[in-house]
């Protein structure tokens, strides 16, 4: 089963590193809170709707 990050708008492929990474800019405290509290989902998650993104580009 895929994690919610796989469907997140902010989870993008970086060609220079050849991997996916989250584009949310977090400070160290926020990163530690997010990584230590695995019981809850990411508060920054936003469903990446490809159709809505394409509509904005037209």
Q: What is the pLDDT of residues 3-12, one digit of tens each?
A: 578 888 888 8
Cα end-to-end span (Å), the chain: 33
Residue 29 main-chain phi, psi, to 5 deg: -65, -45
By residue count, the chain amounts to 58
Q: pLDDT digits over 8-53, tens only?
A: 888 889 999 999 988 989 899 888 887 787 667 788 888 877 665 5
pTM (2 decimals)?
Answer: 0.61
Measured CA angle at 10 (ends 28, 29), to 5 deg: 10
Decide if 4 contacts 11 (C-beta within 8 A).
no
Q: How many domains does the chain have?
A: 1
Q: Quote the domain boundaries for residue 27.
A: 4-57
Strand boundaries in 1-58, DSSP class E: 11-14, 19-22
């Amino acid at each position: 089963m895929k994690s919610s990050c796989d469907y997140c708008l902010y989870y993008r492929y970086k060609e220079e590193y050849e991997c996916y990474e989250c584009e949310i800019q977090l400070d160290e405290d926020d990163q530690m809170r997010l990584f230590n509290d695995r019981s809850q989902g990411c508060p920054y998650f936003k469903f990446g709707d490809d159709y809505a993104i394409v509509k904005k580009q037209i």
